[in-house]
Amino acid sequence: MTTTTRSPRHRKPAVARASRLVGTGTMIRLALRRDRFRLPAWIAAHGLLVVYIGSALPQLAPTKEDLAGISSLLSQPVGRMFTGPAFGMDDVTYERFFAAGYVPYLFILAALMNIMLVIRHTRKEEQTGRAELIRASVTGRHTALTAALIVALLANIAAAALVIVLAVMLEYALVGSMLVGFATGLTGLAFAGVAAITAQLSEFSRSATGMAGAVLGVAFVLRALGDMVAVGGSALSWASPLGWAAQTAPYVEDRWIPLVLLAGFAAVTITAGFVLQRRRDFGASLIPPRPGPAHAAASLGHPLGLAYRLQRGGMLGWGSAILILGVINGLFTQAMLDAGEDMPPQLSAVFGSEQLLDGYVGFLGGFTGIFIAAYVVYAMQTLKSEEDAGRADTVLATAVSRMGWLSTHVVVIALGSVVITAVTGLSTGLGAATVTGEWELVGSLFLAHFAVVAAPLTVLGLCAALFGLVPRVVAPVGWLLVALIGIVELFGDLLDLPEWLRTLSPLWHLASVPVEGFETMPMMVLLGATLVLLAVGLAAFRRRQVNVV
């Protein structure tokens, strides 16, 4: 014990620099231990995507002609918007189809994995105060961030290696597969760098995650708009890290240069993260706090007012992101119609209609529905945080009943979902009408959005039921369901997903207005299920104990 060499007082400055990193090894082992299930699951998800697509494609399109038939799905502007620059679709192969249609989602997966990983091991730890004990022990100022980034690096290497090995096993070309793997890993690292910056900006892990997510969103939009302009992308595509990753053009042009850009971006952002960290105090943010009101507004004295106040931030954040996405999609309508003249019949697989415009309108409703479902799960997760932090204890120790506490939050979230859906529908419609001059689009897009709102509400019901019964699983089950809803909605027909899997998505049961006529029955069934689930949740929460592990 007394033989430790760490005695900062006797250090020379050169060594003091290194002391900011003392304990990194221990912190890495701690992080790996804590993430021993989570991280392998994220990495496995990368592999699963490769394997699933690799084996589904030959079934979906058994011959080269079949594949050529559906390849225009990806090379059309709409397709390019949602996937990427669509290299090599005029001479399509399975590996090229894979690279053009699905690899972009591999990049997004990697980005999400890294954002959550870095924030989880840096800002979240500081916010909860756990890091305080660690920082007070023999660890340096930069230890936590360094350890988190090294863990991220390890995870990215593992994910990249897994992707490469699996792609090669599918008999995809080696060089292209290596590009896919490296681009995935480096995109991950680039967003680890983004998260290293946002972790310094806010005191809250949630807003730090949100800011990094917003950067990912902007990167996606820039790439989408850039790729929409032309096959192979345009200048705008090169303004986005996601664009660089796609510009490697695996299995077609096999470019290595964009990887340098990605690596450079990662280096710059990571350096910026460390620089910013040096400028701030432990637990503090770079955005200084301001004083607020000394007295609570009258509305805060009621459980509903309190629930609204606590949910407001998340609602505004998610709401504006969904709204912006909707408006962009709306503004895109004319470009899509222009491209529609030589639209292949297979596009109906995505839009479910020969009538291109109708199909697009219906598709946008469902698209928004996915994100509303994600918002719902996010919002319901905050209830678990309230309980874990002990704040639910304090509120429930007042005259607020269990029913009152849970139901007010649920009502606020439900109203939030409906309002976000309605506003997004209207704005998307206005965007579409502005570019096309067809004002009835406002109504039809509003209806298309309105027609799907029962699906996120069902998700809300399920989360409430889980919160009452087994609060631990609200987040994992909720996010799994959101992923399922997204996959079924976006790729259900493309991947020819089995029927039973589709029925698990509440969104799948709803009619896609205006392609199909509005149906009251499925909507009523879902709303009925929602009410039952809510009742189960409330009853179970009344019966269970609060804040017991």
Ligand X SMILES: Nc1ncnc2c1ncn2[C@@H]1O[C@H](COP(=O)(O)OP(=O)(O)OP(=O)(O)O)[C@@H](O)[C@H]1O
Per-position x/- string for 257-296, each x denoting binding to another protein as judged by CB under 8 A, each - no binding: --------------------------------xxxxxxxx
For residue 312, the minimal CB distance to another protein (Å) is 9
For residue 542, the minimal CB distance to another protein (Å) is 10
CA distance linking residue 502 with residue 487, whole number of Å? 9
For residue 548, the minimal CB distance to another protein (Å) is 7
Which partner from the list another protein, ligand X, none does 295 bind, CB cut-off 5 to 8 Å by kind? another protein
Site for ligand X (CB under 6 A): which residue of 1, 235, 257, 549? 549
Window 69-108: residues binding another protein (CB under 8 A)? none
Give the binding range for another protein (CB under 8 A) out of 107-115, 166-174, 298-306, 353-361. 298-306
Window 303-342: residues binding another protein (CB under 8 A)? 303, 306, 309-310, 313
- Which CB sits closer to another protein, 76 or 205? 205
- For residue 19, give every residue at least 6 positions away whose Cβ sits within 8 Å of its Cβ, in sequence order, or none: 6, 8, 11, 140
User: Would you say 532 and 461 are in contact if contact means Cβ atoms under 8 Å apart?
Assistant: yes
Under rule CB under 8 A, residue 547 binds another protein: yes
Q: What is the DSSP string of 108-131?
A: HHHHHHHHHHHHHHTHHHHHHTHH
Task: Please report, for the chain, how many H helices and E strands are present, in that order.
Answer: 25, 0
Tokens of 207: 């807003």
Q: Is 254 left (phi over 0), alpha (psi -120 to 50) or beta?
A: left
CA distance linking residue 207 with residue 99, whole number of Å? 33
- Which CB sits closer to ligand X, 63 or 545? 545
For residue 1, the minimal CB distance to another protein (Å) is 24
Per-position x/- string for 398-417, each x denoting binding to another protein as judged by CB under 8 A, each - no binding: xxxxx-x-------------
User: Would you say 89 and 76 are in contact if contact means Cβ atoms under 8 Å apart?
Assistant: no
Which partner from the list another protein, ligand X, none does 313 bind, CB cut-off 5 to 8 Å by kind? another protein
The amino acid at 144: A
Q: Which residue is nearest to ligand X (CB)?
A: 548
For residue 549, the minimal CB distance to ligand X (Å) is 5
For residue 300, the minimal CB distance to another protein (Å) is 5
The count of chain residues that interact with ligand X, using the rule CB under 6 A, is: 2
For residue 195, the minimal CB distance to another protein (Å) is 20
CA distance linking residue 264 with residue 415, whole number of Å? 44
For residue 473, the minimal CB distance to another protein (Å) is 19
User: Would you say 245 and 163 are in contact if contact means Cβ atoms under 8 Å apart?
Assistant: no
Which partner from the list ligand X, another protein, none does 203 bind, CB cut-off 5 to 8 Å by kind? another protein
CA distance linking residue 353 with residue 360, whole number of Å? 9
For residue 327, the minimal CB distance to another protein (Å) is 28
Site for another protein (CB under 8 A): which residue of 276, 377, 395, 459? 395
Which partner from the list ligand X, another protein, none does 395 bind, CB cut-off 5 to 8 Å by kind? another protein
- Which CB sits closer to another protein, 69 or 404? 404
- Which CB sits closer to ligand X, 297 or 549? 549
User: Would you say 75 and 86 are in contact if contact means Cβ atoms under 8 Å apart?
Assistant: yes
Query: Most distant CA pair in the chain: distance in Å?
Result: 80
| Crossing angle (nearest 10°) for helices 143-169 and 24-34 | 50
The amino acid at 397: A
User: Would you say 67 and 90 are in contact if contact means Cβ atoms under 8 Å apart?
Assistant: no
Which partner from the list ligand X, another protein, none does 204 bind, CB cut-off 5 to 8 Å by kind? another protein
Q: What is the DSSP string of 7-20?
A: -GGG--HHHHHHHT
- Which CB sits closer to ligand X, 280 or 544? 544
Q: Where are the alpha helices (DSSP H) in 332-473?
A: 333-339, 347-351, 356-388, 391-396, 402-436, 440-450, 454-469
Which partner from the list ligand X, another protein, none does 302 bind, CB cut-off 5 to 8 Å by kind? another protein
Under rule CB under 8 A, residue 539 binds another protein: no
- Which CB sits closer to ligand X, 3 or 545? 545
Under rule CB under 6 A, residue 392 binds ligand X: no
- Which CB sits closer to another protein, 289 or 517? 289
Alpha-carbon separation of residue 314 from 33, 36, 195, 419 (angstroms): 31, 29, 19, 14
Omega into 303 within 30° of 0, i.e. cis? no
Of the candidates 209, 164, 158, the residue with the CA atom closest to the CA atom of residue 188: 158
The count of chain residues that interact with another protein, using the rule CB under 8 A, is: 37
Which partner from the list another protein, ligand X, none does 294 bind, CB cut-off 5 to 8 Å by kind? another protein
- Which CB sits closer to ligand X, 26 or 547? 547
For residue 132, the minimal CB distance to another protein (Å) is 11
What is the CA angle 93-99-104, rounded to 5?
Answer: 155
Q: Where are the alpha helices (DSSP H) in 10-129?
A: 13-19, 24-34, 38-60, 64-75, 77-82, 94-101, 103-121, 123-128
- Which CB sits closer to another protein, 296 or 532? 296
Cβ burial of 478 (10 Å; 0-12, 13-18, 19+) is buried
User: Would you say 194 and 215 are in contact if contact means Cβ atoms under 8 Å apart?
Assistant: yes
For residue 385, the minimal CB distance to another protein (Å) is 10
Per-position x/- string for 519-548, each x denoting binding to ligand X as judged by CB under 6 A, each - no binding: -----------------------------x
Q: Which residues lie near another protein (CB under 8 A)?
A: 203-204, 289-297, 300-303, 306, 309-310, 313, 389-391, 393-402, 404, 545-548
Q: Which residues lie near ligand X (CB under 6 A)?
A: 548-549
